[in-house]
Amino acid sequence: MQLPKRRSQMLLKRDDRVENNYLTPEGIERLKKTLHDLEKIQRPKIVEDLSFALSLGDFSENAEYQDAKHRLSKIDGRIFGMKERIKHAIPITQELHADGEIRLGSTVTVHVAGKQKTYQIVGPHETNPARGRISLLSPIGSALLHHVIGDEVPIQTPSGEILYQISDVT
Query: Could you state, in order of their start, the residue ranges of all structural domains in the chain?
Result: 7-91, 107-169
CATH class held by domain 7-91:
mainly alpha
Answering whether pTM is above 0.85, one says no
What does the radius of gyration of the chain's CA atoms come to, in whole angstroms? Answer: 23
d(CA 108, CA 114): 16
Q: Which of 41-55, 60-74, 93-107, 132-146 has the lowest mean pLDDT?
A: 93-107
Q: Are 143 and 156 in contact (CB under 8 A)?
A: no
Contacts of 54 (CB under 8 A, 6+ apart): 65
pLDDT at 128 over 70: yes
Predicted confidence (pLDDT) per residue in 63-117, tens digit: 888 899 999 999 999 999 999 999 999 998 866 566 788 998 899 999 998 999 9
Distance of CA 161 to the CA centre of its chain: 29
Q: Are 141 and 121 in contact (CB under 8 A)?
A: yes
pLDDT of residue 1: 63
d(CA 169, CA 96): 9
Topology (CATH level 3) of domain 107-169: Chitinase A; domain 3 (3.10.50)
d(CA 88, CA 85): 5
d(CA 2, CA 67): 30
For residue 103, the tally of other CB atoms under 10 A from its CB is 16
pLDDT averaged over every residue in the chain? 87
> In this prediction, what percent of the chain has a pLDDT beyond 90?
64
d(CA 117, CA 107): 11
Same fold, 7-91 and 107-169: no
